[in-house]
């Protein structure tokens, strides 16, 4: 591509909006505050679902077989 026709043009500056400070520009890329606590909510939901899953009677036998193996290998279920 050849940009020789535009390479030396001046950068556009708005007459309508003031130039943003570095602080204001950085704020646009800050973490989205509405998601605060999202990870904790997901972890809590996963824990509840896990407990509901393993407490089903037909799964308890499997869980009892897995527990010794997981503790032997230092694996901790949530």
Give the largest Cα separation in the chain, rounded. Answer: 75
HEC per residue, 31-77: CCHHHCCHHHHHHHHHHHHHHHHHCCHHHHHHHHHHHHHHHHCCCCC
Residue 20 domain flag: no
**What pLDDT was estimated at residue 28?**
82
Residue 23 domain flag: no
Residue 1 domain flag: no
* Overall domain count for the chain: 1
The CA-CA-CA angle for residues 30, 46, 32, to 5°, reads 10
Structure pTM? 0.31
Query: How confident is the model over 38-57, as pLDDT tens digits?
Result: 878 888 888 888 777 777 77
Cα distance between residue 27 and residue 21, in whole Å: 10
């Amino acid at each position: 591509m050849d940009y020789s026709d535009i390479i030396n043009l001046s950068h556009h500056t708005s007459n309508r909006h003031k130039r943003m400070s570095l602080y204001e520009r950085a704020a646009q890329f800050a973490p989205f505050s509405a998601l605060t606590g999202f990870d904790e909510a997901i972890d809590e939901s996963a824990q509840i679902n896990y407990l509901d899953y393993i407490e089903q009677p037909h799964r308890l036998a499997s869980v009892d077989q897995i527990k010794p193996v997981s503790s032997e290998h230092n694996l901790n279920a949530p």
